[in-house]
Structure formats: C-alpha cells, structure tokens
A and B are shown apart, each in its own frame.
Chain A
C-alpha cells in the first residue's frame, strides 16, 4: 500500500515537472523574455569555510574556484591550463624563470586593484613558514617572487618543476589581497566574475554577479549552492525542482530514472579520482609483494564497478586516469583469479589466509566497495573486519597516523602519481626506481617525454601492486534539461558556473 501511494505521489511530482518543462518549451518567444538568470546548484557537503588557500576540503573549491577566486592560471573544462588572473606568461629555456603578465583592470571585489604586489603576497604567504596552505608542496620549488611593475610578476624556481603551471592553476594558489586575506574564511574577497553575498550555515552559500568584472560577464546573476547530504533527499530535491543542477551526484542507482525523464539531463563524465584499496606497505603481511599481488588477483573490478557505481566507471590498473595523455592500460596485469590469489598467498607462507582490518571513510562508494571487497577477499581466505569511520578519525588515524592495514579512498587531486614518491605518505611505500623516474620528470618539459616517464611510473606501481587499483570515480551530473554549460568532466574539483546559461 505505502508503495502504491508513493508511486502515485511520484507520478504527480513528475507530471508537474514535465508540465512545467513543457510550458517552458512551448513558448520560445515568451521563454526568451523570461530566461532565468539564477541557478541553484546542489552539493553533497558543506565547505568548512570559504578560503581555498587554507583548507583541503574539496567543497571549498566547489563553491569558489573560478567563480569567486582566480589563480594566475586556471584549469578549463577539458583539463587544460588556460589564463587566469595572468593573461599570458613566458617560461625561460632552463625552466627556472616564469614571467606572468596580469590582466589590466583586474580588481578585487572590494574595489582595490589586483596587481603584482597581491600576487607576490599570495605566493609568499602560501610558501611561508606560517603557511596553512593544504598543498604547500606546490610552492616548494619557488625561490623568489619579484614584482618589477604593477602588471608583471617574475617567479624564479630553485629546481625545474614540470607541473608548476598546473599547480598554480589550483584553488590553493588563488590570488588574494593582503587587506582581506584574513577574513576570507567567512567573507571571501577574490577577483572572479562572482562575488560573495551570504552564507546560511548548514543550508546554502549565495554568490552574485560581480558588475565590475573586467572579463566576459557570466549569463547568471545569482548562484546558490545548496548543501544536501542525504541521498534520498537529493533525489527528492531534484524531482521537486528545488535544485537546477546537481554535479558530483553519487546516488548512481537513481540515474536511470532521471535518464528516462525528459525534464532532466544526465551527464556522466570523468574525474581525477583514482579509487584505491589503500594498503599499508610497511605492515605485515602487506610488506610482501606476493600478498599484495594476491589481493589484486582476488578483486573482481567488473563486479565492483557494477555493484558500487552501477556500471558508471572505468577500471584502472595503476594510479593514473585513462582519459589523460600518458595513460598505460595495466588492467590486464592481475586478472580476477581467486585460485591464483590463493596460490600466491600459499607461496608467501599464508596458505590459510590471514585476518585483517579495512578502515572505511564515510563516502558511499567507499562503504559499498569495502563491503564487496571484504566478500571477495573472504573467497581467498583473507578474513576482513570492516571498520566504518567518520572523516575526522579517518584523517587522524589512517591518513596522518598511518595506523591501518587496508583502507579505501579516491584520490581526487589531478596528476597526483607523485604521492608515491613522498617519503612519509600513508602507503608507507618506498621505491628507488619510482623516485628516480620522478626526479627525471621534474627535469623534463617535453610533453612526449613526460608521458613516457608517467607510463614508466605507472608500470612500477602496478608491478609492485602498491595498492589495489580499482576504478575511476565517475562525475555524474543531473540537471534540468534547460541548463547549459555545466562541466561534464571534473579535471579539477570545481563547479565553474561562469559559462552556464538557461536556454
């Protein structure tokens, strides 16, 4: 009975939405005059604050990146580095000097000029001793920042850094003003085409169009980011028309019903989120490569992608996304083969398997994958105790404290294969070979050579079976059919709405 009632209620809601969409589509002349200039974007998580230069939470960039704050360079919808606050730049032949030319007329939202002094302040602040930047490493190669005139910035590096322009395009490298930087967490002041209006804690952040923006004006006048963490409530809010666009929608089981509904558009694109079975390489028995390879053989990625993502994701065989240049397909290295896994375990002196703990952070992909992997590992004799955790203890114990056997997490930073070279990273992985290739990458600017080196790094990680390499997290967006210009892919954690318009 309740079921039937619910269906009836659903049918009424859907009918209403369809009717509305029909009315909009029916009168093009009328609709032209009444085109909406506001947008409500749904987000799963609320940002802890709004200063991208002082926090790792992706939700900060998902509100502010490209909309409110601009770095020197910027990542566009295709993942390319394009001009940001700097309209052009030159790199010296030795790769050690970068000269940025800033946009003429760029202003902060408080009316002050955004000039080279602000850039120098921002970069020095991010790399300084007092810095609270979440990605201090991005600025580690900087030896000095000079401001010869108001519109020119010269950055000298102490060593070549092949990813420098890429890193300077991240939200962590946003340009801020010395007068307002301290208050950016609550009342952010940037140089972007939108400025901050209000933040209703627990509910929404509102941005409005910046009338003084020196670049192309966005079509939208007002953008509201609404925070809805409950999956069922997300579906309901979309169906009710309260949300216009929901990027990074992770209730994958609901996608078919939106696909079947003409009022909505569903886009499934890629992210930079390599999802891995994080493995503590320093802890027994995972310090034995045969055990790690056994785990790799025991995991059926196809079932995992079907079960967790409802088929919306690509398998990976190393820590590199398939859509990026330089990708090497290594998914065939450890085919699903429980017998092989058992044989490898026996070879490693564990014929009866072993007991271990899998610590899971809160996202639904992690919880579901963990449950499936526990079942898969049980088949080869590995008895897994699943331990769900909240974010704070997970970050504290697993990520910082390295106190774990196995964990499951998507690494969403773009081009982050270098984390395997960090000496104190939570995988506890050390490889001279890998680090040597990494050092060569830093010296190399030529993209073909860089891609070959990336390929080599991927192979080393796969051969060492450092982690269980599972799948790429997809980026699903559900939105009203009349919304245009949202990113399909997520080359960087952002909801760039500067190009969004209603049709």
Chain B
C-alpha cells in the first residue's frame, strides 16, 4: 500500500490530473450507456430554455431537451469518433511508418512525400473537403480525421523506428540472419510503442476538437444524435438570451481536450524520461 502511494507520488502531476479529467469524461460516456436523466433526444418544446434547476440539472435547450443528458451522450459520441479516428490512423500509419524505415531510401521518400501532401492542408480543411464530397456524418468524419492521423502516425513511427534500427541489438539481430519483418515486429515495434501511445493521446484530443468543429458546422455527427459541437452551434444564436446554452458544451469540450493533452504530456514523461520533448508532433 505504502509502495503504491509512493509510486503514485512519483508520477508526473500532469499524468494524474489528465488521467482524472479523462476518466471523468470516459465515466460520463459509460454512464450514458446505462442511464441519463432524460432520453437525450426527447423533444419537449413547452419546457425549452429552462435554466439549471432540480429537474433539469443543467437546464434545457431550445427544443426542451435535457442538456445534461445531451452532454453525457455527447461524451460517448465524441469519444467514439475520437477513438475510431485514432485507431484508424494508427492501423494505417504505424505499419506505413515502419515499412518506410525498413525499405530504405525510395520507400522512405514515398511515405514522407505522401505525408507532406496530407500535411499541406489543415486537418479540419481536409475533413470539410471530404465530408463535402462524401456527405456529412460521423463515419466520414472518422475517415477524414483517420487519414490525417495516419500521416502523423506514419511520420512519428518512422522517425522513432529509424533511431531503433541503428541500435546495436537490432544490428546484432540482423547480423544473426533475422529477416527485416521479424526484426521489425520483435525489436522495433515494442521500442516505439511508447512514442506511438503518447502520439495517440495527443491525436485523440485533436480529433475530439475537430469533430466538435465539424459538428458545429453541421458536417459531423448528425441530429438527432447529440454532439457537443452541434450544441455549441445551436447555442450561438442564444448568446444574448441564454448564454448558459453555450457554456456547458464548451466546458465539456475544454475538459476533454485538456484532460487528453495533460494525459499525453504525463505519459510522455512517464514512459520516456530521457526524451522529454524529442520528436513529438
């Protein structure tokens, strides 16, 4: 017990705080699966724009929907889109980055230029273009953000992997006649896992933010399914009449992004104390 406390104390503050905030959001998302004060999509126009009170803890929106319920379900939607976009990015990007590091010059060049191409446009712009072409909706948002994430993952994985390839134990494995695929899987991948995980949390935060931006523009998660960005967009016309409408979804987005960023910082420090700020984003 005492050992656990001591170990906890040695962890970076950012990791603890970030973990706490993230856990809060994940908890809200999980809770929404089992319980919300009201059905999040239930419209009751007579009860619209209620201030926070005992029945509706965070009040109601312009259609009389319960804001707390929408925030809870919105957490689930935000995290789902964020997680899917990060998973897609990692699944595409990490193998590509590893391959680039193993293939030598030409493969390396090809992957790097592909990355440049994607980085030339901000992620949100790419996503807007893609949703404009394919139609709005959560799936296309995941696709768009996932593609952007793939480029980031590829770049990070390649950089980290190149360093590993030069280490002695890898050279030894190669000298012993191990093939590049086997070396990649057994030696390189485990050694870049930390960097990839940290990158994942940062990209998670970016994806949540971008999803909110797209939903605010009406391109992301489609109604009636609640989303924080959409709530913020709806609240915009009520800024002068009921400003609270904008504060709750705004705070939810801020808490999530802050939590994920702190968690990422903390993980980086905890996993890789020697490379405090090496090559991340």
Binding site for B on A (CB under 8 A): 2-3, 6, 10, 230-232, 235-236, 239, 251, 253-254, 256-257, 303, 306-307, 364, 367-368, 371-372, 374-375, 378, 385-388
Q: Which residues on the A side are within 8 Å of B238 (C-beta)?
A: 253
- A362 and chain B: residue at smallest CB distance: B218
Please classify the interface of chain B as helix (H, G, I), strand (E, B), loop, or mixed, using the class held by over half of its residues: loop
- B46 and chain A: residue at smallest CB distance: A306
User: Are B237 and A374 touching (Cβ within 8 A)?
Assistant: no
Interface size class of B (residues with CB under 8 A): 20 to 34
User: Are B247 and A3 touching (Cβ within 8 A)?
Assistant: yes
Is B244 an interface position by the 8 A CB rule? Answer: yes
Query: Are A257 and B62 also in contact (CB < 8 A) when A232-B236, A306-B46, A378-B224 are?
Result: no
Q: Which residues on the A side are within 8 Å of B222 (C-beta)?
A: 385-387
Query: Are A387 and B45 also in contact (CB < 8 A) when A3-B247, A10-B240, A378-B224 are?
Result: no
Q: Which residues on the B side are within 8 Å of A239 (C-beta)?
A: 240
Query: Are A253 and B224 also in contact (CB < 8 A) when A372-B43, A388-B136 are?
Result: no
Query: Are A232 and B223 also in contact (CB < 8 A) when A253-B62, A303-B45, A307-B63 are?
Result: no
Q: Which residues on the B side are within 8 Å of A10 (C-beta)?
A: 240
Is B11 an interface position by the 8 A CB rule? Answer: no
Query: Are A232 and B136 also in contact (CB < 8 A) when A2-B247, A367-B218 are?
Result: no
Give 7 nearest A-B pairs by CB, closest first.
A231-B237, A307-B45, A388-B218, A306-B45, A232-B239, A371-B223, A235-B240
Given contacts A372-B45, A385-B137, 11 further A-B contacts (CB under 8 A): A3-B247, A235-B239, A239-B240, A256-B241, A257-B240, A303-B43, A307-B43, A307-B62, A364-B237, A375-B43, A386-B223
Q: Which residues on the B side are within 8 Å of A254 (C-beta)?
A: 237, 240-241
For residue A117, give the distance in angstroms from its CB to the closest CB of chain B: 48
How far, in angstroms, from A377 to B247 measured CA to CA in the complex? Answer: 30
User: Are A251 and B63 touching (Cβ within 8 A)?
Assistant: no
Which of B64, B239, B244 has the most A CB atoms < 10 Å from its CB? B239
For residue B123, give the distance in angstroms from its CB to the closest CB of chain A: 21
Is B108 an interface position by the 8 A CB rule? Answer: no
For residue B246, give the distance in angstroms from its CB to the closest CB of chain A: 10
CB contact list, B108-162 vs A, under 8 A:
135-137
12 A-B contacts (beta carbon < 8 Å)? A3-B243, A230-B236, A235-B240, A256-B241, A306-B48, A307-B62, A364-B237, A367-B218, A368-B62, A371-B63, A374-B224, A385-B137
